[in-house]
Every structure is written in C-alpha cells, then in structure tokens.
Amino acid sequence: MKVSTKGLFRVYATGEHREGICRKCDKLLIKEFYMDGERKRVRMVCPKCGGMGRLIAKTFSVQPPSPPQCLSVRCLYKFFLDTLFCALLSTYHSRRVAYAEMNRHKQILERYRTGQPSPETIWQAIHANIKLTCPVCRKYNIDPLLGG
Amino acid sequence: MAQTQTVTDTGIAELILLWREELATGMESIVALEMATPCTAAVASTFLDPADTAIHHTDSGLLLAAIDTVAGDTVNTAGDTITFDHVFTATASKNVAGIHVCNNDDDVTFIECCFNAVLAMENTDTLTIDGQSTIEQA
C-alpha cells in the first residue's frame, strides 16, 4: 500500500567563500551579472583576467531524506539507510567546511574547499569522514581503509 | 552540525496573506547572521529573533541589503520555485554563521539558512549565496 506524504517547502542554499582580491593581477574583484540559461545570476570577477578569486570554502546543502512511501520492511529499511547517509554526509560537510576555513592560507586538497566530489553512498561517506579526521591521510590523499 | 535551512513560520504566513488577497510583501532583502558557532535554522525564527543566539550583521558589508537577483523557476511543476543570488563583500574580519532572506519591508524573514560551519570572513572576502526554494506536492 502506498502512503501519501505531505508536501513541503524545500530550500537549497549554498555559500561560496572566496578571496576578494585576484592573486594573479592583485586587483579587487568586481560584481558581474550574467545569464545562466534564462536565469540572471551574479558573481565576483577580476576586471583584468576574469578570475573569480581563490576559493576558501563552499558550503553544501544536505537535504533530509524523503519520508517512506509505504509500510513494508523494504520501504522502512530504505528510509533508515537514507537517514543514515544523510547524517554521515552532514557530518562530512560540516567538518570539511570547518577544516577548509581553518586552513584558508594553507595548501589543502581542493575537494575540501569545493565539496566535490561529494560522497554518494554510505560506504563512501564513512571513508570520507575517517580520511578527514586523519592528518596523514589528508596530506597524502590516502584512503585509511584501503591504504591507497 | 549539519547545514540547516528552512522556510520560517512567518514566511508561510506572508504567503498565505498573498493567497487571501491581503497586503503581502515580497522577497527582496538578505542579511548575514553573526554567531561564533554554527547555528541551527528553526521554523520559529523571526526577523527580530534569529536561530539560537545569532544576530543580524549591521555593518562590514554583511548587513541587510537588496538581493542581487530574484527570479521564478520550474523544478517539478510550472513556476513552483523561486531562486535568488547575492554577493556579500566583507569590509572587516567577521564571522558568518548563516543568512536570513527577508521581505521588502525588512520586518519578516522568509528563509533562514545556517551554514555547515562558521565562515571566517576577512576584509575584501566575498560570499556568494546561491539559493532556491521549491514548493513540492505530496
């Protein structure tokens, strides 16, 4: 039996924290409006080279899992797995952004600044969380569970 | 702490005012939230009382300002989404824990977002906000 769940407002929001001075040209970035398909958007660019300033950290909008659509064990188990993945992903991105912010002047893996690639499975999320807490693994880009 | 974002109760009340053909206001302003630790977005948050102990920034380029772009979009059904973009440019070292998206009278918060972690802005740093809200059917 399918269960109808209530509709909802879904909100996505990301914040992209960048340096405001172009390192290459030593110029202050300026605001530029541009078209992304039919959507008018805004960004900061270097007036000389068009660069966007060095990325410090980009936040990630983790969405809660959809409620179960039926009462079978399979549906409930899927909801449990989705919830677990959501929790692991949230933890990863929170730690990642905090780490990137703390190391804004240091050389770190770009994935910790951009959030991409983001874990897509529970297993990947577990790996990513462990790797992020291990200084040696972060520095040499080693997966602590696989050793390479 | 996970990044949390929500449409507030006051934001929904404003939408219902529009449906009732009463005086309603639109999405027009945005302000950065100041807090030393990550906040948690709550539906009960209001313009005057943001999440946890967060407060609105009132200076340094992070204060209440008109949103750079606001537009309609389609995700599931025609026109079910509103999108917005904004760039803050800090003029001093400040912490940003999240944002409030507000109305044109600057007295109602429609959307509250608390970031994954506190962003430590320094002078001239920029913060580009990319947001959207979709009303989804059951």
Identify the bridge partners of residue A115 per DSSP, sorted by sequence position. none
CA distance A18 to chain B (A): 5
pLDDT at A134: 86
**B15 contacts B24 by C-beta, under 8 angstroms:** yes
**CA–CA gap between residue A94 and residue A101 (Å, rounded):** 11
pLDDT at A57: 95
Tens digit of pLDDT for each residue in B12-58?
A: 999 999 999 998 899 999 999 999 999 999 999 999 999 999 999 99
Task: Check B127 against A17: CB less than 8 A apart.
Answer: yes
Structure tokens at B12: 């929904």
Averaged over A76-98, what is the pLDDT? 93
CB neighbours of residue A133 within 10 Å: 12
| Distances in whole angstroms, Cα of residue A82 to Cα of each of A51, A88, A118, A128, A132 | 38, 10, 15, 17, 22
DSSP result, B69-107:
EEEEE-SSSTT-EEEEEEEEE-SS-EEEEEEEEEETTS-
Is pLDDT above 60 for B124? yes
The answer to whether B119 contacts chain A (CB < 8 Å) is: yes
Buried b (16+ CB within 10 A) or exposed e, A36-75: eeeeebbbbbbeeeebbbeebbbbbbbeeeeebeeeeeee
Is pLDDT above 70 for A65? yes
pLDDT at B106: 87
**CA–CA gap between residue A14 and residue A58 (Å, rounded):** 7
pLDDT at B71: 92
pLDDT-derived band of residue B1, with 50, 70 and 90 as boundaries?
low
**Cα angle, residue A106 at apex, residues A105 and A112 outer, rounded to 5°:** 105
pLDDT-derived band of residue A59, with 50, 70 and 90 as boundaries?
very high
Q: How buried is A4 (Cβ within 10 angstroms: 0-12 exposed, 13-18 middle, 19+ buried)?
A: exposed
Average pLDDT, chain A: 88
Tens digit of pLDDT for each residue in A11-23?
A: 999 999 999 999 8
Question: Which residues of A fall within a CB distance of 8 Å from B131?
Answer: 11-14
Is pLDDT above 60 for A148? no
Identity of the residue in B12, B83, B119 whose CB atom sits nearest the CB atom of A15: B119
Averaged over A82-90, what is the pLDDT? 94
Question: Which residues of B fall within a CB distance of 8 Å from A39?
Answer: 69, 71, 73, 83
Is pLDDT above 90 for A142? no
Which comes out higher in pLDDT, residue A144 or B123? B123
pLDDT-derived band of residue A68, with 50, 70 and 90 as boundaries?
confident
**CA–CA gap between residue B85 and residue B30 (Å, rounded):** 10
pLDDT-derived band of residue A82, with 50, 70 and 90 as boundaries?
very high
Structure tokens at A41: 């958007």
- For the entire predicted model, the pTM comes to 0.90
Residue B28 DSSP SS3: strand
pLDDT at A19: 94
- Rounded to 10 deg, the angle between the A73-102 and A122-133 helix axes is 30
pLDDT at A103: 93
Global ipTM: 0.91
B98 φ/ψ angles, rounded to the nearest 5 degrees: 175, -165
**A117 contacts A111 by C-beta, under 8 angstroms:** yes
Tens digit of pLDDT for each residue in B55-81?
A: 999 999 999 999 999 999 998 889 899
pLDDT-derived band of residue A139, with 50, 70 and 90 as boundaries?
confident
